[in-house]
Amino acid sequence: MKRSELLTRILITVAVLGAVGTPLFLWARTPLIHAKVAEDGGWSPDVIRANAGEPLTLHLTSDDVVHGFAVGQMDMQGVDVLPGKVADITLTFDKPGIYTFYCTRWCGLNHWRMRGTIEVSGSNVDTQPVPAPLYVSLGLDIDAPHDAPILPSQKPSAIRGQKFSTNLPILQSPDFYRSHSPYQLFDELTSTSFTESQRWDVVAYVWQSNATPESLANGQRLYAQNCAACHGENGAGNGVFADDLAASGESSMQTMTGSEDMMMQTPVDFTDPARMLGASPALLQGKILRGGMGTGMPMWGSIFTEEQIWDLVAYLYSFQFNYQGAVR
């Protein structure tokens, strides 16, 4: 074989390998993350590794229906993941730790099961312990029944309540609001000269003064995106998935009410005064944080920020009270 021929053969081999290998190498470096409905496996891969401080670029696509991608606790806008298209997102994590990413567009009954983790490694490990949520430090049993024994005869109004609340400054502190149920405040007001309906109006006013219009609006947005499919757009527990949940039976609706006592549960009706007026914001925060333990209620603690949960809680009470210039 001539030298020039050998050189040519080598050159062609290298060129071919390069033409095939380079795209393959680039493709392998940034793998495509496939999204499928939870029944078909959810995210694959569902564990992503990254380094703190370094930008992480992800390419996402869907294999069936419209999905979305967002990382929990980051207050970020979700990226739509559409079938047949590739969505790119670049994230930078400041702190090492395990982050949860989740689907942001409803993709069926088991939409909320579609989650994965991003394991971010780094040297500046935060050793500060996370403070316990309020329901833990208050020692609340969030599974215990908490119905209010006395109910208002009409929907309490914050507008009416404002007139009676001029000399009750202590009740309006956030700490008081978060740790007391509306019924507890109603009960504490027994010593005053107000009538029952006036006391409920004061309660409505105190609850409104702890909710800014921005937090109510934010709560409403979060509710529509994440809760309304089961709990209903008007809070009545009759969302589009309520029937499907009941039909799917034990797998998603069973809950433990005691050691062995199981009962079927439907999505909670937020327009039910007994249930809502007997629940403190701390209790509702706990329920949202932890989820329903075996019911279809997801665990939101790894998704929502604390601020977002308080906004949601504030919005949930608006199903019970008439607020001034209310969002609804």
Partner 1 sequence: MNSRFFLLLLAAAGLVVAFAPFPVQSIAPQERTFRIEARQFAYSPSEFKVNPGDTVTIQLVSADVVHGLYVDGYNISVEADPGQTASLTFIADKPGSFRFRCNVTCGAMHPFMIGRLTVGTNSWLFRSIGLAVLGLIGFFPFSFHKERMLVEKR
Q: Nearer to partner 1 by C-beta: 91 or 229?
A: 229
| Min dist. Cβ of residue 105 to partner 1 (A) | 5
| Min dist. Cβ of residue 71 to partner 1 (A) | 20
Buried b (16+ CB within 10 A) or exposed e, 242-251: beebeeeeee
| DSSP-derived 3-state class of residue 159 | helix
Find the farthest-apart pair of alpha carbons in the chain and give their distance in angstroms, rounded.
111
Spatial distance between the Cα atoms of 245 and 230, rounded to a whole number of angstroms = 8
Spatial distance between the Cα atoms of 61 and 68, rounded to a whole number of angstroms = 10
| Min dist. Cβ of residue 222 to partner 1 (A) | 12
Q: Nearer to partner 1 by C-beta: 142 or 228?
A: 228
Q: Nearer to partner 1 by C-beta: 179 or 266?
A: 266
Burial of 163 per CB tally in 10 Å (0-12, 13-18, 19+) = exposed
| Min dist. Cβ of residue 66 to partner 1 (A) | 4
Q: Nearer to partner 1 by C-beta: 207 or 223?
A: 223
| Min dist. Cβ of residue 93 to partner 1 (A) | 28
Q: Nearer to partner 1 by C-beta: 39 or 94?
A: 39
| DSSP-derived 3-state class of residue 238 | coil
Residue 205 CB partners (closer than 8 Å, separation 6+): 158, 161, 162, 164, 165
Residue with tokens 């309540």: 161
Q: Nearer to partner 1 by C-beta: 105 or 287?
A: 105
Q: Which residues bind partner 1 (CB under 8 A)?
A: 37, 62, 64-66, 82-84, 105-109, 111, 224-225, 227-230, 233, 239-241, 244
| Min dist. Cβ of residue 28 to partner 1 (A) | 27
Q: Nearer to partner 1 by C-beta: 228 or 314?
A: 228
* C-alpha 268, offset from chain centre: 16
| Min dist. Cβ of residue 67 to partner 1 (A) | 9
| Min dist. Cβ of residue 227 to partner 1 (A) | 7
The DSSP string of 3-47 is HHHHHHHHHHHHHHHHHHHHHHHHHHHSPEEEE--GGGTSEES-E
Residue 2 CB partners (closer than 8 Å, separation 6+): none
Dihedral over alpha carbons 257, 313, 220, 100 (to 10 degrees): -70
- Is the preceding peptide bond at 45 cis, omega within 30 degrees of 0? yes
| Min dist. Cβ of residue 114 to partner 1 (A) | 12
Q: Nearer to partner 1 by C-beta: 94 or 243?
A: 243
Which helix (H) or strand (E) segment holds residue 310: the answer is helix 306-317
CB 200 within 8 A of CB 186: yes
Q: Nearer to partner 1 by C-beta: 67 or 199?
A: 67
